[in-house]
Structure 1
Amino acid sequence: MTPADNTAANFAAGNAHVDVQGIVHGGVNYYRTSPDSSPREKFEAGVRYLESGATGRAWPRIDDAVLSDYRTNRACFYWLLALLSGRTRGELSDEEAARLQNSDHFLPLSGDDPWAEGARTMLRLVESINRADADLRVLMKEFDELPPRQRDLILRHLELFLEGPIKDDVWHRALERARDEQMDRDREDRVWKFFEPAPAPPLVRQPAPVTIPTLTWLQAGVGAVVAVASTAHLGYLLVQGGRVSALLAYLLSIVGGGFAARNGVDWCFRSKRLRMKDEEHSPNLRRRPDVPLEAFGRQVDRRLEYYFAKYRPSGMEPDLWLTWTAGLRRSMRNELVEAYREKPAKVEAINWLIRHRAIGVKGRWEKGTLWSHHQELATPLPTKATAVFGALACTIGGVWASSSAVQTDGLIGIRSVALLVAFGWIWGRAWLRISIEHRRHASDQLDVAELEADSEAAYGLWRKRLADKPDDGEMATWLDCDRKVLLDEALRHYRLKMSDIVAYAFIEARSGSATRARVQGGPWRYRKYEMKIFLITADGVRQCNARLHFADGTFHDRNRLNYRFEAVTAVHVRQADDNSHTFELSLMDGQKITAQMIGPELEESQESEDPEEVSEVSLDAAGLRHTLHVLEGVAAEGKAWMTRERRRGANGFWMTLGVPPRRRAGRVRLRRRPKRQPAVEIEYAPHRSAGPAGTSAHSNLG
């Protein structure tokens, strides 16, 4: 068959995406906790938030668990880590600095297990920041002897907090770790799986039940009784008249009619089934009206069009292939819509099934079996011959026998012949409809069973392929490695050491319409990121931009921008009505540097989630809090911010710890306070501070 030339076709190819929506992996309590959760459950949720990079969410949960007397060595380690992660010394409030100074008073470290040793080493690293006589070689040797788990966590989370010579040592180790782990754990072969939704089980439209009207059954019953009676009476007349030759013709007509009926039904069914299959494959003909299309049906239609254009035979133009398969796609769409009508599913959850169907059609085309139903349903020549010769025998024998019966008994013979013809016709038509309907149902059941077996096999293979889908913690680890690799690239380009940087900040935003996904309660992850690094140096701000292809950890479209402190006029985050958040940095010359932190909410709202909470955790994981602290300070104070930041970090931090200036160069020990001495009074607030006072804030986080 040749497809019509006037069939229009629209398709998506290349990097096009169809109905790109956010994938939310639910069904697991990865981040969520209830008000009556135990301290341990809150702590574990906080640890997962910390691993995802959302330190602002991690700290209140871990702190709450510790305040509720959940104080194992592991809890003490993570408490320190969450307090200091992703922050500079200047970002600690007076209360938080006081709690750090008294940490040994309420964090009982016992024994020498890896968590206790990690916590003690972390405290010694913090203690050594302003010690001129600190032996860094001994300290770093002690650090290197930590178990890999604790060492890697400290490298990842204390990167911003440390300063001075030790900062360079820790940075080199953190960079080495990032390079080793950037493509670790089969990243390139697994990242894409995070953006795949949990597949919905395959459903197949069940065949329509056998439907035979009552009138047809009545016609078949009455017609059979009258036709058989009339046939028997004609035989009686022939026997009574002693017409042997006519009686032989009578028997021949009955036998021929039986063969003609049996083979004729098979011929008729095959022809009808072939027409139905051709209509399903035809781009113009329609076997049945389309099912009513709602949003789900339209989405299935677009996905079928996309995957058929993507998976097409070699050398076939997309528009021609879509034209050839228009009827198949329509039939598949109707079948899928009807199959999932009782158990609705999001179209993303059956992407695997739509893709499997598209690949199957391509494979059948390449094997030459796409139109194989022509051979399968072709009526064999013996069947046709038997039906034709049987009908001829029935007709000739019937006419001979009927004429002889009429000659034997005129009026009675004519009546019997008339009844036989009339009710035999009614019986034959009704019996043909009943037989074809039963054969149709049996054939549909075979097709459905074959389709179900194929879909179940594909479903099992797809689930097996997604079995090693990375969790959110792995995604965050890979992203942190990418961040460090890009930061190292910027440092090498500007020929700077880490200790030359007063402060730095990242913006991680979605690139264009890149696919996104997240674990329920967690931050959004993207296939492609727009990454911006702001390096605050003595000479001004050095900005590096790059597009990250997250699957393979490669950077593209790099560009750089340098400007003075005084050139930054405003920094803010704009929240639109569609819940999108856009970071905007304004320069004195009118230039605006923007990045869409969170795009419009495209997916249906989750009943158990607040869109504002989703936005907050995503912004937290993207590093927005620290970035605003740095850039707002630059915008408000200019170059003076650099000096004040260092003074706030040094004097303010250590004075809060109760260490007089004359002792800052000496050895500082964080000892347990004797019980007879009054402890520092702390009015605890569950959320971390936004930064020191005096920083001009242009942000609007909604």
Structure 2
Amino acid sequence: MTVPEATPTNVAADSAYVAMQAGVVHGDVNQYTTYADSPPEKKFQAGVHILDGGMSSRAWQLIQEAVVGGYKTNEVCFYWLLALVSGRTRHGLSKEEMAALRNERNIFRLTDDDEWVNGVKTIRRLLASAEKKDADTRVLFKELDALGDPQRAMILRHLEQFLDGPIAEQMWHRTLSQAKDERMAGDRANRIWKFFEPAPSKPRERAVRRPDTPLRVCVRIVMATAVFLAATIHIGYVLVQGGRVFALMICLASAVGGYYGAREGLEWRFRVVRRRTKDMEYGPPSARRTNTQPEGFAKRVDQRFDHYFAVYVPHGVQREVWLAKTAGIRRSLRDELVEIYREERVGVERINWLIRHRVDDVRRRWREGVLWSYREELATPLSTKAGAVLGLAALVGGGAWAVSDAVLVAPLGASGSTVLVLASGWIGARALLGVLLERWRFAADERESGRTLDGDWEAFRRWRAKLADKPKDQEMAVWLDSDRKVLLDDALKHYRLVMSNVVAHAFIEAPAPSTRRARVKDGPWRYRKYRLLAFLLTADGVRQLTVDLDFTEGAFHVRERSSYRFDAVAAVRVGQGDNDERTFELALVDGQKISVQVMSPGMEILQEGEDPGTVSEVTLDASGLHQTLHVLEGIAAEGKEWIRYER
């Protein structure tokens, strides 16, 4: 992609950093974690992992601590050398570091030949040959090409920028070739997004409200039942005493019919109540609930449901129709998940999978035509209605026959008992009906909750299996480093330069606006989208390339290209706010500024045992800010004389 040359502008002017999504911290990854009392072997292994993660300064500190602790092997020597020079120029080493590099042979005593010894010897020869303009590099690169992995790959990745002279050009071609091979390796396009997904929270069963029968209701049922039985027995006694045995038999037979009628009536009533409850739950939200504005966790869950319902629209259905018809279901599902997860302080990112599953399940049931199937399932069959009506009719008929005969035998006593039977039966039946309906409701809710939980667990297992090959942080670092090298190659081609024309080059990696981010414990932040600034320093001045990198796809989008002389650089600084915001700023003599936020405010999301300063430092280390500052500060201070000092 070619665009017209641009004059220096304020990079941050049109990209205010807003709405950065909450970060994900993979607390179950501990490859970078060490402690003051960790053994030297542990510190060395952590240093190797950190170097693979692109944090060379922190890596060298840990490996040096392991060496001071007496842990000196061929492998330690190899990584010690790489960590010391990785991503740096010779001019970027301090006096102490340069002294340590020149004293390396006295620090380490190599043992028997192995792949690590061969790697150390190759590094030594590369460093020595870079200082000789007439060095014969054919044998040297033959030895480098003969090395196996990981020695050859690590040397190409970490040593390229430290070398200069004729050897640098040949080294660059090999480094670029490796970067192109590694850039999309490991199924990057299909795996990298998984790094930004948090560990999913396990499904939880919604607590079903248990039936709560107040003591007064129990007392009412017992007393009403006692009175009912006593009055009924008295009527039966009157019938026997008066010789009305047939009427008594009719009464007993009607009681059996009344039992079956009451059972069917209870079923009828339960279906009507439950269907009405479901209609209220799945129907359009009431005006009162609609006007209630959720906050905090509930608001974020609300937004996720709104998003996925807007995305998961059934084929052939207008979005407006879909959203209107499912408004009540959406509200019901939202309320359920808020109730289940709110008290556990679970971030909404960890239940995104569950929200997607629930919404997809609603879409599936819509397509299959069963979204409102509960209305048919809870419709009362005609046989149930007939059984209830006939049974209760038999009870009323038989009871009336028995009462009329009893009144003929003992008018006063039978009438009083009849009144008691009717009153206690009505009171007891109403109370008992409420108790039984609650028990049936509880059983139905438990069955429904169990089916929902089974579906959630199945979806959870599928999602966890999908995330099983989530890339490691070291893979992310290799892909990003490969992107940087490919970008550098594009810049060289655009400016018609070769690597031998470049005195030094440097990068700054910053998060793009409104991007997702994630990191492992004690590791640097990684972003789905980056703002990359590449600086190429040549004898003629500075070439700057600013691009947006879609890290998930490895695609560059050029924002601007700039060129300016060394004496045009007025100042370079990094500002730090109270909220840990870090802003890189390059000021030119004409008053223009090139600025970019390297770290956004409020970026510290810490796991137990993490130190906020360490997290910030490794993020800046991985961003390339330290090396870039060293180079550009030298230019601001010395101007074109910096080139002579560098060479």
Q: What TM-score results when the alignment is normalised by the length of structure 2?
A: 0.93
Change beyond 3 A, Cα 1:321–1:19: farther
SS of the aligned residue for 2:572 comes to strand
Deviations for 1:630-688, whole angstroms, at most 9, x for unmatched residues? 11122222222122211xxxxxxxxxxxxxxxxxxxxxxxxxxxxxxxxxxxxxxxxxx
> What's the CA shift for 1:178?
0.8
> What's the CA shift for 1:607?
4.2
What letter corresponds to residue 69 of structure 1 in structure 2? G
Tell me, in whole angstroms, the C-alpha distance in 1 between the residues paired with 2:322 and 2:593. Answer: 46
The number of residues matched between the two structures is 630
List aligned pairs for 1:370-385, cutoff 5 A.
370-385=371-386
Alignment-derived partner of residue 432 in structure 1: 433
SS of the aligned residue for 1:632 comes to helix
> What's the CA shift for 1:245?
6.1
Alignment-derived partner of residue 592 in structure 2: 591
Tell me, in whole angstroms, the C-alpha distance in 2 between the residues paired with 1:417 and 1:61. Answer: 94
Tell me, in whole angstroms, the C-alpha distance in 1 between the residues paired with 2:565 and 2:597. Answer: 24
- Work out whether residues 546 and 558 of structure 1, in 8 Å CA contact, stay in contact via their aligned partners in 2: yes
- Among all aligned residue pairs of Structure 1 and Structure 2, give the percentage whose two residues are the same amino acid: 53
Tell me, in whole angstroms, the C-alpha distance in 1 between the residues paired with 2:343 and 2:591. Answer: 56
Tell me, in whole angstroms, the C-alpha distance in 2 between the residues paired with 1:541 and 1:40. Answer: 43
SS of the aligned residue for 2:150 comes to helix
Alignment-derived partner of residue 655 in structure 1: none
Tell me, in whole angstroms, the C-alpha distance in 2 between the residues paired with 1:403 and 1:291. Answer: 60
Alignment-derived partner of residue 191 in structure 2: 190
> What's the CA shift for 1:411?
0.5
Tell me, in whole angstroms, the C-alpha distance in 2 between the residues paired with 1:360 and 1:435. Answer: 32
Alignment-derived partner of residue 232 in structure 1: 233
Change beyond 3 A, Cα 1:323–1:601: farther
Q: Which moved more, 1:299-308 or 1:351-360?
A: 299-308
- Work out whether residues 133 and 166 of structure 2, in 8 Å CA contact, stay in contact via their aligned partners in 1: no
Alignment-derived partner of residue 25 in structure 1: 26
Alignment-derived partner of residue 466 in structure 1: 467
- Work out whether residues 279 and 285 of structure 1, in 8 Å CA contact, stay in contact via their aligned partners in 2: no
SS of the aligned residue for 2:161 comes to coil
- Work out whether residues 280 and 287 of structure 1, in 8 Å CA contact, stay in contact via their aligned partners in 2: no
Tell me, in whole angstroms, the C-alpha distance in 1 between the residues paired with 2:478 and 2:40. Answer: 26
What letter corresponds to residue 533 of structure 2 in structure 1? K
Alignment-derived partner of residue 423 in structure 1: 424
Alignment-derived partner of residue 662 in structure 1: none
Alignment-derived partner of residue 135 in structure 1: 136
Counterpart check, 1:572 vs 2:573: yes
List aligned pairs for 1:402-421, cutoff 5 A.
402-421=403-422
List aligned pairs for 1:527-546, cutoff 5 A.
527-546=528-547
Counterpart check, 1:273 vs 2:274: yes
- Work out whether residues 25 and 605 of structure 2, in 8 Å CA contact, stay in contact via their aligned partners in 1: no
Alignment-derived partner of residue 60 in structure 2: 59
What letter corresponds to residue 155 of structure 1 in structure 2? L
SS of the aligned residue for 1:128 comes to helix
Structure with the largest fraction of helix: 2
Alignment-derived partner of residue 15 in structure 2: none
Tell me, in whole angstroms, the C-alpha distance in 1 between the residues paired with 2:302 and 2:164. Answer: 57
Alignment-derived partner of residue 114 in structure 1: 115
SS of the aligned residue for 2:130 comes to coil
Alignment-derived partner of residue 549 in structure 1: 550
> What's the CA shift for 1:92?
1.5
> What's the CA shift for 1:33?
0.9
Tell me, in whole angstroms, the C-alpha distance in 1 between the residues paired with 2:374 and 2:286. Answer: 17
List aligned pairs for 1:352-367, cutoff 5 A.
352-367=353-368
Alignment-derived partner of residue 688 in structure 1: none
Q: What TM-score results when the alignment is normalised by the length of structure 1?
A: 0.86
Tell me, in whole angstroms, the C-alpha distance in 2 between the residues paired with 1:524 and 1:288. Answer: 40
> What's the CA shift for 1:120?
0.7
Alignment-derived partner of residue 480 in structure 1: 481
What letter corresponds to residue 350 of structure 1 in structure 2? I
Q: Which moved more, 1:163-172 or 1:356-365?
A: 356-365
Deviations for 1:102-160, whole angstroms, at most 9, x for unmatched residues? 21111111222111110110010000012233211111001000002100100010111
List aligned pairs for 1:250-399, cutoff 5 A.
250-285=251-286, 295-318=296-319, 320-340=321-341, 343-399=344-400
What letter corresponds to residue 485 of structure 1 in structure 2? V
What letter corresponds to residue 340 of structure 2 in structure 1? A
- Work out whether residues 63 and 80 of structure 2, in 8 Å CA contact, stay in contact via their aligned partners in 1: yes
Tell me, in whole angstroms, the C-alpha distance in 1 between the residues paired with 2:572 and 2:291. Answer: 54
- Work out whether residues 279 and 287 of structure 1, in 8 Å CA contact, stay in contact via their aligned partners in 2: no
Change beyond 3 A, Cα 1:116–1:129: same
Alignment-derived partner of residue 153 in structure 2: 152
List aligned pairs for 1:34-53, cutoff 5 A.
34-53=35-54
SS of the aligned residue for 1:148 comes to coil
Tell me, in whole angstroms, the C-alpha distance in 1 between the residues paired with 2:289 and 2:451. Answer: 22
What letter corresponds to residue 229 of structure 2 in structure 1? V
Alignment-derived partner of residue 3 in structure 2: none
Deviations for 1:410-460, whole angstroms, at most 9, x for unmatched residues? 001101110110001111112111211111111111112112211111111
Change beyond 3 A, Cα 1:537–1:19: closer
Instruction: State the Cα RMSD in Å.
Output: 2.3
- Work out whether residues 249 and 397 of structure 1, in 8 Å CA contact, stay in contact via their aligned partners in 2: yes
- Work out whether residues 204 and 336 of structure 1, in 8 Å CA contact, stay in contact via their aligned partners in 2: no
> What's the CA shift for 1:317?
5.0
- Work out whether residues 279 and 286 of structure 1, in 8 Å CA contact, stay in contact via their aligned partners in 2: no
Tell me, in whole angstroms, the C-alpha distance in 1 between the residues paired with 2:223 and 2:388. Answer: 25
Change beyond 3 A, Cα 1:290–1:453: farther
Q: Which moved more, 1:589-598 or 1:81-90?
A: 589-598
Which ranges of structure 1 fall in alignment gaps of 5 or more residues?
1-16, 647-702
Alignment-derived partner of residue 698 in structure 1: none
Which ranges of structure 2 fall in alignment gaps of 5 or more residues?
1-17
